[in-house]
Chain A
Amino acid sequence: MNNTLLELKNISYKYKNNLILNKVNLKINSGEKIALLGKSGSGKTTLISVLNGTIKPTQGEVKLFNKSFEELDRKQKSKITTIWQDLRLIEDLTAEQNVNCGQLAEKNFYFAIKNLLNISSFKKAHKYMQLCRLHNSVYDKNIRKLSGGQKQRVAIARSLIQGSNILLADEPFNNLDPKLITTIKKLLLENVDKTNTKKSPKTALVSLHRLDFLKDFDKVIGIRDGKIFFNIRRNNLKKLHLDKIY
């Protein structure tokens, strides 16, 4: 269990003279489910962007599988999947085409063309959309025509279809009703494909605002003004900790 997957060493990130992340050190071990807490603007999204390699830190080192991002090949990088707070779906495409985009890493160029021409197989996409409780009437709808909750689930389905074992999610339960949240939480934190026993356990770092969701996580990280204030096991979390970050 003490097998480090992701590691941040002394990470700082500056944007327009503002220090967004300030000397952050973090280790994420295989199979850990970590909740990331913090106020809006505390640096949660930036931390996720640094962890998935979207943002290059101004200072420090990010390691995935004990290698820096530059040393990793494309297949290794694709082990991380991200659910963005603003979803980042492709607006001109249908829901099923968007979900299929999650398979681009493992498929060839021909698949990308077929997906854009709407002639590829959507069987796998439909399976994941079903898991996310998306009704089949929305499968071929343009993403612009979907509600906030439906878009949220399309983004989650796109992330799940990637089959990655490291999940980074930025407030993934926005726009979802309580019943759906239970289903989606289970999908995100457990391996969907139970038949694949070779798969390593799912590792997740999820940024949250709702404290009642914490019971599903092993660890809790509190961030404020770009600094990690605590990184503790969930059972040890006290009100004192929360007072520090909120």
Chain B
Amino acid sequence: MNKLKLNYTSLSFLPILVCIPLGYQLINNIHFGGIKLFQEFLISAFNPRIENEIIITVINRLNETILIGFFSWLVSIIFGAIFGIISSNIFYKIFNIPNFFYRTIRVFLTIIRSIHEVVWGLVLMQIYGINFSIGIIAICIPYIAVNSKVFAEQLETIDYKRFESINQINAPKFSTLLTIVWNPIINTFKNFGLYRLECSIRSTVILGLFGIGGIGTSIFSPFIRVHFSKSRKKWDILIEAYFLHSPFIRITKII
């Protein structure tokens, strides 16, 4: 029988030990108080009553959600790419800008990224009130920072020799930059872009819970009052909309 050796590999499994007290807590605190509520929710969700009025409302709310999600995605992916370029070391090498600016912009984007879109939404709502554009801006701010990190990380992987070779041709700096970053940017967009659209739509739904509009706003009031019976028709369609929405995003990814 192999002896258990205490080395770095075995130490890396130590965090699993956290599961023991966590599992104990979960088993100890289990109660079925909410099971009736959950049953009610499931019955409402899978027992659709389709009425024209409800369908029209849900379609309108869905349109709002997709519109906010799509605009936020479009703006955040474009500006994310731009900020990604200016927060990657290749940009500073080409333009001979001191490293201080590189670090400053990265720290700035990290701070922006660390604040959740819901927090941005709540802050902006206090200033501008509740409206459609607040949703877009609230999602865009952290998303630009998140996207810029992904783009920048891809650009950091560019072979330095490739940069040297194009730089040695002594082309105008913007031509050099574009030639070097073009393909990593396009590839990142292809691999990551649609996932971010998915995230963006999901965030729009969450922000809707805070009254910004879209499907989230529709489900907010019955949800908070736990009146599933009153919102039954909406839940039915929302669940269906969710199931429709997810494959849609995934199919477009495959295409």
Q: Which residues of A contact B (CB under 8 A)?
A: 52-54, 74-75, 77-78, 80-82, 84, 86, 88-93, 101-102, 104-105, 107-109, 111-113, 115-116, 162
Residues of chain A within 8 A (CB-CB) of B165 are 82, 84, 88-89
The answer to whether A54 and B169 touch across the interface, beta carbons within 8 angstroms, is: no
Residue in B168, B174, B179, B187 whose beta carbon sits within 8 Å of that of A54 in the complex: B168
The answer to whether A53 and B174 touch across the interface, beta carbons within 8 angstroms, is: no
The answer to whether B170 and A74 touch across the interface, beta carbons within 8 angstroms, is: yes
Tell me, in angstroms, the Cα distance from A113 to B169 when the chains sit together.
17
Tell me, in angstroms, the Cα distance from A86 to B118 when the chains sit together.
50
Tell me, in angstroms, the Cα distance from A86 to B162 when the chains sit together.
10
Residues of chain B within 8 A (CB-CB) of A86 are 161
Residue B247, interface by CB 8 Å: no
Residue in B162, B164, B166 whose beta carbon sits within 8 Å of that of A104 in the complex: B166
Contacts of B198-252 to chain A: CB distance below 8 A: none
The answer to whether A109 and B166 touch across the interface, beta carbons within 8 angstroms, is: no
Residues of chain A within 8 A (CB-CB) of B166 are 90, 101, 104
Q: Which residues of B contact A (CB under 8 A)?
A: 161-162, 164-172, 174-176, 178-180, 182-183, 187
The answer to whether A104 and B179 touch across the interface, beta carbons within 8 angstroms, is: yes
The answer to whether B179 and A90 touch across the interface, beta carbons within 8 angstroms, is: yes
Tell me, in angstroms, the Cα distance from A78 to B171 when the chains sit together.
8
Tell me, in angstroms, the Cα distance from A84 to B161 when the chains sit together.
10
Tell me, in angstroms, the Cα distance from A84 to B168 when the chains sit together.
11
B182 nearest in chain A by CB position: A116
Residues of chain A within 8 A (CB-CB) of B182 are 92, 116
Residues of chain B within 8 A (CB-CB) of A90 are 162, 166, 179-180, 183
- Rounded to whole Å, the gap between the CB of A115 and the closest CB of chain B is 8
Tell me, in angstroms, the Cα distance from A89 to B159 when the chains sit together.
11
The answer to whether B169 and A102 touch across the interface, beta carbons within 8 angstroms, is: yes
The answer to whether B174 and A104 touch across the interface, beta carbons within 8 angstroms, is: no
The answer to whether B179 and A108 touch across the interface, beta carbons within 8 angstroms, is: no
Contact A74 B168, CB 8 Å, known A86-B161, A93-B183, A113-B178: no
Given contacts A54-B164, A92-B182, A111-B175, 7 further A-B contacts (CB under 8 A): A74-B170, A74-B172, A88-B161, A90-B183, A112-B175, A113-B178, A162-B169
The answer to whether A104 and B176 touch across the interface, beta carbons within 8 angstroms, is: yes
Residues of chain A within 8 A (CB-CB) of B174 are 109, 112
B177 nearest in chain A by CB position: A112
- Rounded to whole Å, the gap between the CB of B35 and the closest CB of chain A is 55
Residues of chain A within 8 A (CB-CB) of B175 are 104, 107-109, 111-112
The answer to whether A104 and B169 touch across the interface, beta carbons within 8 angstroms, is: yes
